[in-house]
Structure 1
Protein backbone atom coordinates (compact mmCIF):
# COMPACT_ATOMS: atom_id res chain seq x y z
CA UNK A 1 0.00 0.00 0.00
CA UNK A 2 1.39 3.40 -0.88
CA UNK A 3 1.97 6.12 1.67
CA UNK A 4 -0.83 8.19 0.09
CA UNK A 5 -3.28 5.25 0.33
CA UNK A 6 -2.35 4.66 3.97
CA UNK A 7 -2.90 8.35 4.71
CA UNK A 8 -6.39 8.17 3.15
CA UNK A 9 -7.20 5.01 5.14
CA UNK A 10 -6.22 6.62 8.46
CA UNK A 11 -8.12 9.80 7.53
CA UNK A 12 -11.24 7.66 6.85
CA UNK A 13 -10.82 5.92 10.21
CA UNK A 14 -10.52 9.21 12.13
CA UNK A 15 -13.41 10.80 10.21
CA UNK A 16 -15.61 7.77 10.94
CA UNK A 17 -14.68 8.02 14.64
CA UNK A 18 -15.68 11.68 14.74
CA UNK A 19 -18.92 10.96 12.86
CA UNK A 20 -19.81 8.21 15.34
CA UNK A 21 -19.96 5.79 12.40
CA UNK A 22 -18.67 2.63 14.03
CA UNK A 23 -19.38 0.44 10.99
CA UNK A 24 -17.25 2.74 8.81
CA UNK A 25 -14.46 2.46 11.40
CA UNK A 26 -14.74 -1.31 11.40
CA UNK A 27 -14.63 -1.36 7.59
CA UNK A 28 -11.09 0.06 7.84
CA UNK A 29 -9.92 -2.92 9.93
CA UNK A 30 -8.70 -6.39 9.02
CA UNK A 31 -10.70 -9.33 10.42
CA UNK A 32 -7.78 -10.24 12.72
CA UNK A 33 -6.93 -6.70 13.82
CA UNK A 34 -4.73 -6.49 16.92
CA UNK A 35 -6.06 -3.88 19.34
CA UNK A 36 -3.71 -2.73 22.09
CA UNK A 37 -5.86 -0.98 24.68
CA UNK A 38 -4.30 1.91 26.59
CA UNK A 39 -2.81 0.53 29.82
CA UNK A 40 -4.56 -2.75 29.10
CA UNK A 41 -4.14 -5.91 27.13
CA UNK A 42 -4.27 -6.89 23.50
CA UNK A 43 -7.45 -8.13 21.88
CA UNK A 44 -7.54 -9.81 18.49
CA UNK A 45 -10.35 -9.60 15.96
CA UNK A 46 -12.90 -7.24 14.54
CA UNK A 47 -15.71 -8.66 16.71
CA UNK A 48 -13.81 -7.80 19.91
CA UNK A 49 -13.09 -4.34 18.52
CA UNK A 50 -16.83 -3.89 17.81
CA UNK A 51 -17.62 -4.86 21.42
CA UNK A 52 -14.96 -2.43 22.69
CA UNK A 53 -16.49 0.40 20.65
CA UNK A 54 -19.92 -0.39 22.12
CA UNK A 55 -18.51 -0.18 25.65
CA UNK A 56 -16.76 3.09 24.84
CA UNK A 57 -19.99 4.57 23.44
CA UNK A 58 -21.80 3.59 26.64
CA UNK A 59 -19.33 5.49 28.84
CA UNK A 60 -17.90 8.30 26.70
CA UNK A 61 -18.77 10.74 23.91
CA UNK A 62 -15.54 11.84 22.25
CA UNK A 63 -14.22 13.84 19.32
CA UNK A 64 -10.67 13.97 18.01
CA UNK A 65 -9.34 17.40 17.09
CA UNK A 66 -5.97 18.89 16.11
CA UNK A 67 -5.26 15.61 14.27
CA UNK A 68 -1.81 15.12 12.75
CA UNK A 69 -1.31 11.91 10.75
CA UNK A 70 2.17 10.63 9.96
CA UNK A 71 2.83 7.74 7.56
CA UNK A 72 6.02 5.72 7.54
CA UNK A 73 8.02 5.08 4.41
CA UNK A 74 6.32 2.36 2.38
CA UNK A 75 2.92 2.91 4.01
CA UNK A 76 3.01 -0.09 6.36
CA UNK A 77 2.88 1.99 9.52
CA UNK A 78 1.23 5.21 10.53
CA UNK A 79 0.51 7.29 13.60
CA UNK A 80 -2.07 9.89 14.51
CA UNK A 81 -1.57 12.46 17.25
CA UNK A 82 -4.59 14.44 18.41
CA UNK A 83 -6.53 16.00 21.25
CA UNK A 84 -9.41 13.97 22.67
CA UNK A 85 -12.30 16.17 23.77
CA UNK A 86 -14.97 14.20 25.56
CA UNK A 87 -17.77 13.80 28.03
CA UNK A 88 -17.85 11.04 30.64
CA UNK A 89 -21.41 9.70 30.35
CA UNK A 90 -21.67 6.70 32.66
CA UNK A 91 -19.36 5.20 35.26
CA UNK A 92 -16.88 2.67 33.91
CA UNK A 93 -15.77 -0.13 36.23
CA UNK A 94 -12.77 0.85 38.35
CA UNK A 95 -12.92 4.52 37.35
CA UNK A 96 -14.33 7.62 39.08
CA UNK A 97 -18.08 8.17 39.12
CA UNK A 98 -19.45 9.76 35.96
CA UNK A 99 -21.73 12.79 36.05
CA UNK A 100 -21.20 14.36 32.65
CA UNK A 101 -17.68 15.66 33.28
CA UNK A 102 -15.81 16.97 30.26
CA UNK A 103 -12.15 16.39 29.52
CA UNK A 104 -9.47 17.28 27.00
CA UNK A 105 -6.19 15.43 26.69
CA UNK A 106 -3.47 14.65 24.18
CA UNK A 107 -3.41 11.12 22.80
CA UNK A 108 -2.07 9.07 19.95
CA UNK A 109 -2.68 5.92 17.99
CA UNK A 110 -0.11 3.78 16.19
CA UNK A 111 -1.29 1.73 13.22
CA UNK A 112 0.00 -1.14 11.13
CA UNK A 113 -1.50 -1.57 7.68
CA UNK A 114 -1.55 -4.79 5.65
CA UNK A 115 -3.37 -5.57 2.40
CA UNK A 116 -5.16 -2.22 2.42
CA UNK A 117 -6.62 -2.51 5.93
CA UNK A 118 -5.54 -1.56 9.44
CA UNK A 119 -4.10 -4.66 11.13
CA UNK A 120 -3.04 -3.06 14.43
CA UNK A 121 -4.42 -0.21 16.53
CA UNK A 122 -2.35 0.81 19.58
CA UNK A 123 -3.75 3.70 21.61
CA UNK A 124 -1.88 5.81 24.17
CA UNK A 125 -3.07 8.56 26.50
CA UNK A 126 -2.30 9.61 30.05
CA UNK A 127 -4.90 7.89 32.24
CA UNK A 128 -3.73 9.83 35.32
CA UNK A 129 -4.43 13.11 33.49
CA UNK A 130 -7.89 11.90 32.45
CA UNK A 131 -8.66 10.69 35.99
CA UNK A 132 -7.59 14.02 37.51
CA UNK A 133 -9.79 15.93 35.06
CA UNK A 134 -12.95 13.87 35.68
CA UNK A 135 -12.36 13.74 39.44
CA UNK A 136 -12.62 17.54 39.65
CA UNK A 137 -16.12 17.59 38.18
Structure 2
Protein backbone atom coordinates (compact mmCIF):
# COMPACT_ATOMS: atom_id res chain seq x y z
CA UNK A 1 0.00 0.00 0.00
CA UNK A 2 1.50 3.31 -1.04
CA UNK A 3 1.59 6.55 0.92
CA UNK A 4 -1.31 8.15 -1.00
CA UNK A 5 -3.55 5.16 -0.25
CA UNK A 6 -2.61 5.23 3.46
CA UNK A 7 -3.29 8.98 3.67
CA UNK A 8 -6.61 8.50 1.87
CA UNK A 9 -7.72 5.86 4.40
CA UNK A 10 -6.85 8.15 7.29
CA UNK A 11 -8.70 11.09 5.74
CA UNK A 12 -11.80 8.93 5.14
CA UNK A 13 -11.64 7.61 8.71
CA UNK A 14 -11.46 11.12 10.21
CA UNK A 15 -14.32 12.31 7.97
CA UNK A 16 -16.49 9.36 9.12
CA UNK A 17 -15.55 10.09 12.76
CA UNK A 18 -16.61 13.72 12.38
CA UNK A 19 -19.96 12.62 10.88
CA UNK A 20 -20.59 10.15 13.77
CA UNK A 21 -20.60 7.45 11.06
CA UNK A 22 -19.48 4.39 13.04
CA UNK A 23 -20.25 2.00 10.16
CA UNK A 24 -18.18 4.20 7.84
CA UNK A 25 -15.29 4.04 10.31
CA UNK A 26 -15.56 0.26 10.66
CA UNK A 27 -15.51 -0.26 6.88
CA UNK A 28 -11.94 1.13 6.85
CA UNK A 29 -10.61 -1.15 9.61
CA UNK A 30 -8.85 -4.51 9.41
CA UNK A 31 -10.61 -7.31 11.32
CA UNK A 32 -7.81 -7.39 13.90
CA UNK A 33 -7.90 -3.64 14.57
CA UNK A 34 -6.17 -2.52 17.75
CA UNK A 35 -7.20 0.83 19.24
CA UNK A 36 -5.55 2.62 22.16
CA UNK A 37 -6.26 6.00 23.72
CA UNK A 38 -3.61 7.57 25.93
CA UNK A 39 -4.27 10.73 27.95
CA UNK A 40 -1.60 12.32 30.09
CA UNK A 41 0.69 9.37 29.44
CA UNK A 42 -1.84 6.83 30.74
CA UNK A 43 -3.73 4.22 28.70
CA UNK A 44 -7.38 5.25 29.18
CA UNK A 45 -9.23 3.07 26.65
CA UNK A 46 -8.48 0.18 24.35
CA UNK A 47 -10.28 -2.17 22.01
CA UNK A 48 -9.31 -5.20 19.97
CA UNK A 49 -11.18 -6.39 16.89
CA UNK A 50 -14.12 -4.90 15.03
CA UNK A 51 -16.71 -5.74 17.72
CA UNK A 52 -14.66 -4.20 20.51
CA UNK A 53 -13.97 -1.13 18.40
CA UNK A 54 -17.68 -0.78 17.53
CA UNK A 55 -18.68 -0.85 21.21
CA UNK A 56 -16.13 1.80 22.13
CA UNK A 57 -16.96 4.00 19.11
CA UNK A 58 -20.73 3.86 19.74
CA UNK A 59 -20.25 4.70 23.41
CA UNK A 60 -17.96 7.64 22.56
CA UNK A 61 -20.35 8.94 19.89
CA UNK A 62 -23.24 8.96 22.38
CA UNK A 63 -21.26 11.25 24.71
CA UNK A 64 -21.07 14.09 22.17
CA UNK A 65 -23.60 16.37 20.52
CA UNK A 66 -20.88 17.74 18.23
CA UNK A 67 -17.30 16.67 17.61
CA UNK A 68 -14.56 17.42 15.15
CA UNK A 69 -11.04 16.23 14.63
CA UNK A 70 -9.18 18.74 12.46
CA UNK A 71 -5.82 17.68 11.03
CA UNK A 72 -3.23 20.39 11.59
CA UNK A 73 -0.22 18.38 10.35
CA UNK A 74 0.46 14.93 8.93
CA UNK A 75 3.47 12.87 8.05
CA UNK A 76 4.44 9.35 7.11
CA UNK A 77 6.90 7.40 9.26
CA UNK A 78 8.04 3.89 8.37
CA UNK A 79 4.75 2.91 6.73
CA UNK A 80 2.62 4.61 9.37
CA UNK A 81 0.68 7.86 9.17
CA UNK A 82 0.95 10.29 12.07
CA UNK A 83 -1.50 13.20 12.27
CA UNK A 84 -1.48 16.11 14.67
CA UNK A 85 -5.09 16.83 15.65
CA UNK A 86 -7.00 19.81 17.01
CA UNK A 87 -10.09 18.37 18.71
CA UNK A 88 -13.30 20.10 19.68
CA UNK A 89 -16.40 18.44 21.10
CA UNK A 90 -19.62 19.45 22.83
CA UNK A 91 -20.85 16.96 25.43
CA UNK A 92 -24.33 15.51 25.03
CA UNK A 93 -24.32 13.96 28.50
CA UNK A 94 -22.84 14.65 31.90
CA UNK A 95 -19.62 12.80 32.70
CA UNK A 96 -19.51 11.39 36.23
CA UNK A 97 -17.32 13.61 38.41
CA UNK A 98 -16.52 15.66 35.31
CA UNK A 99 -17.89 18.16 32.84
CA UNK A 100 -21.61 18.57 32.31
CA UNK A 101 -23.70 18.25 29.13
CA UNK A 102 -23.15 21.28 26.90
CA UNK A 103 -19.53 21.70 28.00
CA UNK A 104 -17.05 22.34 25.22
CA UNK A 105 -13.90 20.22 25.24
CA UNK A 106 -10.91 21.38 23.24
CA UNK A 107 -7.50 19.76 23.07
CA UNK A 108 -4.69 18.87 20.76
CA UNK A 109 -3.19 15.47 20.28
CA UNK A 110 -1.68 13.01 17.91
CA UNK A 111 -3.09 9.93 16.20
CA UNK A 112 -0.89 7.21 14.78
CA UNK A 113 -2.22 4.81 12.15
CA UNK A 114 -0.67 1.54 10.99
CA UNK A 115 -2.04 -0.65 8.22
CA UNK A 116 -2.78 -4.31 7.51
CA UNK A 117 -4.23 -5.91 4.39
CA UNK A 118 -5.09 -2.58 2.78
CA UNK A 119 -7.00 -1.29 5.81
CA UNK A 120 -6.26 0.45 9.11
CA UNK A 121 -4.88 -2.14 11.55
CA UNK A 122 -3.83 0.07 14.48
CA UNK A 123 -4.92 3.46 15.85
CA UNK A 124 -3.14 5.03 18.80
CA UNK A 125 -4.55 8.36 20.03
CA UNK A 126 -2.45 10.49 22.38
CA UNK A 127 -3.51 13.70 24.14
For the pair shown, which has the larger CA radius of gyration, 1 or 2?
1
Distance 2:100 2:83 in 1: 28
1:63: Cα distance to partner?
0.6
User: Which residue does 1:23 correspond to in 2?
Assistant: 23
**Long gaps (5+) in structure 2:** none
TM superposition score normalised by structure 2? 0.86
1:77 aligns with 2:80: yes
Distance 1:103 1:27 in 2: 28
Distance 2:105 2:9 in 1: 27
Distance 1:63 1:97 in 2: 18
Shift >3 Å, 4+ stretches: none
> Judging changes above 3 Å, is the alpha-carbon distance between structure 1 residues 15 and 97 closer, same or farther for their aligned structure 2 residues?
closer
Alignment length (residue pairs): 122
TM superposition score normalised by structure 1? 0.80
User: Which moves more between the two structures, 48-57 or 38-47?
Assistant: 38-47
Distance 1:17 1:70 in 2: 20
User: Which residue does 1:62 correspond to in 2?
Assistant: 67
1:92 aligns with 2:76: no
More strand by share: 2
Deviations 1:47-78 (A, max 9, x none): 111111111112123111244222224xx311
Secondary structure of the residue that 2:98 maps to in structure 1?
coil
CA contact (8 A) 2:84 2:110 kept: yes
1:40 to 34, 39, 44: 44
More helix by share: 1
> Judging changes above 3 Å, is the alpha-carbon distance between structure 1 residues 72 and 91 closer, same or farther for their aligned structure 2 residues?
same
